[in-house]
Structure 1
Amino acid sequence: MRCDILTLFPAPVEAYLAVGILGKAIAAGILDVRVHDLRRWAINRYGQVDDEVYGGGPGMAIMAPVAVRAVEEVTAGEQARVILPDPRGRVFTQEVAKELAGERRLVFLCGRYEGFDARVAEVLKADEISIGDYVVSGGELPALVILDAVARQVRGVVGDPDSVVQDSFTQGLLDFPVYTRPREFRGLSVPEVLLSGDHQKVADYRTEVSLRLTLLRRPELLLRHFFELPKELRQKARKLAQELGVSGLPEEPS
């Protein structure tokens, strides 16, 4: 997969891409990620990329000619999905990550200040995506969040494929908690079942804990994916929901 990130602050983006799973995937050639400084497409020798907004108000907006020309030159006519992180966009989820992982090429446009001139998204037919109901200072962090989640869905990026399957949200459930040595720490012990060596008991325990956590913390997540779960898990979820006093799980269709 080829990814291009266009930003006014390339250094911190490049630093993140040099480490961890993304760094290894780039070094191995599984991902081809290139960072571009938007000031390369400035409108004058002073490096201007933004201007005051029409209608007045605080802040500056990145100019349409800068962003559009940058994307067009970077893609050089090749088809690419343009991602524009924006709190007004559709909410980023694991399903969206899987969707984007199917693309051959992604281009991330990272805004600053008051964002981009609204015509940028229109001209580029950009996919505006929000990582949550809050605002950060620029598009770099959201772009890296999206890229990291998408990359985990690309074959070969994560060494153990089972890790991806068991990630939170992948099956509509929050992930189970994990423990390592020491067996006891400040009065807190590792659950005995995890020390039993009985793989089926461990699997059953982890499934129940995942169901319990999801019911208590993110019931809407379970509801959204409920009928994607095996029937036996749905039955277990209903039983747990009754014990925990959580309502709203649908009945089996007749």
Structure 2
Amino acid sequence: MHESPQNDVEQTTDADLALRPLAAAGDPVRLADAYAYPPGGPWLRANMIASVDGAAARDDRAGGLGNETDRRLLSLLRGLADVVIVGAGTVRAEGYGPVRPGPGGWEKLRADRPPVPPLAIVSRRLDLDLDAPVFTDADPAARTILLTTRTAPPGRVRAAAERAEVIVAGEDRLDFAAAVAELVARGHERLLCEGGPRVLAQVVATGVLDEMCLTVSPMLLSGGAFRILNGPAVPVPPRLRLAAAYQDDEDFLFLRYVRRG
């Protein structure tokens, strides 16, 4: 779609999305293939966006940094995933509803899987509107999941269990390693984390992140916005390897890093 700005993006599916490799002038890369999950076991990737100066939000929303290409890539990554992990704060700030298929549907991406992946919402206290569409409008084959802790109020746990599948992992803070293991045990081996920054910081600190997909938005914002990770410094920072870099015609960069080793 980057070859002709006049192309109607709604006529193509997420499986057809393509971008130009950053360091080459060759043919566009079909991202459904470039971002395919590796075979042979569970894999947790994160997808985030930041401005050139590192801000992870504009006007308190990550969506304020993106463009149509970034939104289409987000849709593609969701279509490839078995489950989408997101923090309760991000659900509220970004106005999340259930995952919906991208333009043209996801039949090419999902094969014999449910038509959409479920959301797995991280909420320590379960202080969410359980009558919100993110629960009530979820596809029955992709019921919303709540990832919570043993210190969650028992009454909220019981109420949440009527609207969602509840997974308890950890005492006062979510044990992400245990939560991921529970999701994998339910068949969700291709995991996508959409943050926000506090959740992603915990994922990284736990050591369960395999891949970081980062969109660099060509903006300079300044101000006090969070970075894509918002938490204590990681004692031993994980080293990443740049696996791919792409760009579009609006100078957005799409970087894919994987964990070394």
TM-score (structure 1 length as normaliser): 0.29
Q: TM-score, normalised by structure 2?
A: 0.28
Which is richer in strand?
2
Task: From the CA coordinates, give the structure whose radius of gyration is larger.
Answer: 1
Query: Quick check: which one's helix share is greater?
Result: 1
Give the number of the structure with larger relative contact order, counting CA–CA contacts within 8 Å between residues 6 or more apart: 2
